[in-house]
Chains A and B, each alone.
Chain A
């Protein structure tokens, strides 16, 4: 079955783009490639893919800049971030700019296809590492008089889901472990993503910049 999923691959390394193309070739249709911010924005707006695979580090201002610029005109465009660097600050940055998930570049082909599909369906994709970042960022107590408390705190259930993902559980394993449906797991993860993007919690930014000193 030829999938209707269309993908644009944005990465400044030709070798990586070729690798992705050969690995994903059968499962999704790659409609475009780009290697920096400007060309990425142009290609994405021209081809209108279901999902954009976006490198976090990119000439011209980084992946976050691409998301910001594309979202100004097409706020529904979906991005999946990926990188080799694992630099918390940058990963959180691109998520907060509007990407719907983050995976590391050593992800296997089938897992990547799965993640792309999930993002295309409007769900969020959290790798164990991103779940770890999130737990770290939302850790600790927070003062009561916050502007929007709901956004600044994870619910107990969301925290549980994040911990299981950080422990390496796939969504369906999380669902089984907590006796909930996969759909519910997806709802929780999307809600965490929303909080990550919208929270004004200042610790979030400070944490991200402090973290590399730990």
Chain B
């Protein structure tokens, strides 16, 4: 909640944030160790970039350029806040209990330490914020004070002041409490504290330097990504454009090249299915792409649910591919719709065209396409195929199969 350390760790380890927070609180019982660890991690952990690394390139870019509408998260922060407060209260309770029982640090050390920690946290926090703004580029040239204040206005001043005050009072309290016979010792301690305090105040600036180094490193990675993208564009788009010019007179070839390029780019930019061949939808998309390339049609694949590929499904995909080829070759339609639905163990694939159609009863003996490649293949693997068509009404091939020996979890 304060620096997002717990949430960050939780995300990293893939566990619920509650457990991480609990761990920090329990750690605090051991003489405030948890708090120290929290602050240390806050400093040391890299700041996460909000962008989702799994986002396809096109979407990531659209997000960055503000072409998309930011998603409003519907989750209420209330629950999270409540949990954190509860944990803090719990932690404080145990701390006080330790206090009473005389474990933990002696009283005269404890309170100054607590206050100092709170003050420091505020100071560092402020520097953190200023840093973030500097990166965001809203304050290109911040003066020394501006660095600490950032663009935060009154809240920043308040936080800074409060932090400094807390730190000062902590030092004061400590000195006051430990004033005793050994005056020499007090002076020594005071000097040390002054130096220490100064160091702590300067800490953020020193830290900034290391941070900037990290930023530079990130920039280098980014420029490498740009180079990769340029290479990709060169390999795909530029080549296609060159080919298009050479075939400018041949409308069919131009259409085919353009279609293939569009598909490739779309996949690269907005891919929403896994690597080809791993799931039913990806496999169907791959087959559809092949049919688009070989025959002069567009094939649109729409899927609902998905399931990992296996041998039976591979047969189904081949049958679907055969149906697509038939539609492309014989129907005369320029567009084929493919729809795949996975619901529980049941998988259905529909291949439909709005072309010439035919009379299913009157298929000549010689045409093995439907009979062997589609129906035979499906039946051998325990599935079914049926063909609906009538002259002038287009054709729809429906393939269905019930998956076995597969638990519900693997289908989604």
Q: What is the CB-to-nearest-CB distance from A93 to chain B, in angstroms, rounded to a whole number?
A: 6
Which residue of the partner chain A has the closest CB to B352? A168
Q: Max chain A CB contacts within 10 Å: which of B55, B269, B272, B274? A: B272
Q: Which of A129-137, A147-155, A190-198 contacts the other chain? A: A129-137
Q: A139–B344 Cα gap in the complex (Å)?
A: 11
Which residue of the partner chain A has the closest CB to B281? A214
Chain B residues near A86 (CB-CB < 8 A): 266, 270, 272
Q: A136–B343 Cα gap in the complex (Å)?
A: 10
Number of interface residues of B (CB under 8 A): 37
Chain B residues near A61 (CB-CB < 8 A): 66, 68-70
In the complex, the answer to whether A212 meets B69 with C-beta atoms within 8 Å is no
Q: A84–B56 Cα gap in the complex (Å)?
A: 14
Chain B residues near A84 (CB-CB < 8 A): 266
In the complex, the answer to whether A85 meets B58 with C-beta atoms within 8 Å is yes
Q: A168–B298 Cα gap in the complex (Å)?
A: 13
> For this complex, into which size category does the number of interface residues on chain A fall?
35 or more
Chain B, range 52-88, C-beta contacts under 8 Å to A: 54-56, 58-59, 62, 65-71, 74
Q: What is the CB-to-nearest-CB distance from A1 to chain B, in angstroms, rounded to a whole number?
A: 26
In the complex, the answer to whether A205 meets B412 with C-beta atoms within 8 Å is no
A10 at the B interface (CB under 8 A): no
In the complex, the answer to whether B352 meets A214 with C-beta atoms within 8 Å is no
Main DSSP-derived SS at the A contact region:
helix
Q: A139–B412 Cα gap in the complex (Å)?
A: 10
Q: What is the CB-to-nearest-CB distance from B79 to chain A, in angstroms, rounded to a whole number?
A: 14
Q: What is the CB-to-nearest-CB distance from B244 to chain A, in angstroms, rounded to a whole number?
A: 16
Which residue of the partner chain B has the closest CB to A130? B302
Q: Which residues of A contact B (CB under 8 A)?
A: 12, 57-65, 84-90, 93-94, 97, 106, 128-129, 131-132, 135-136, 139, 163, 166-169, 202, 205, 209, 211-214
25 contacts between A and B (CB under 8 A): A57-B67, A59-B65, A59-B67, A60-B66, A62-B66, A84-B266, A85-B62, A85-B269, A89-B71, A90-B68, A90-B69, A93-B69, A93-B71, A97-B69, A132-B339, A139-B343, A163-B341, A166-B339, A167-B339, A167-B352, A168-B339, A168-B350, A168-B352, A212-B54, A212-B272
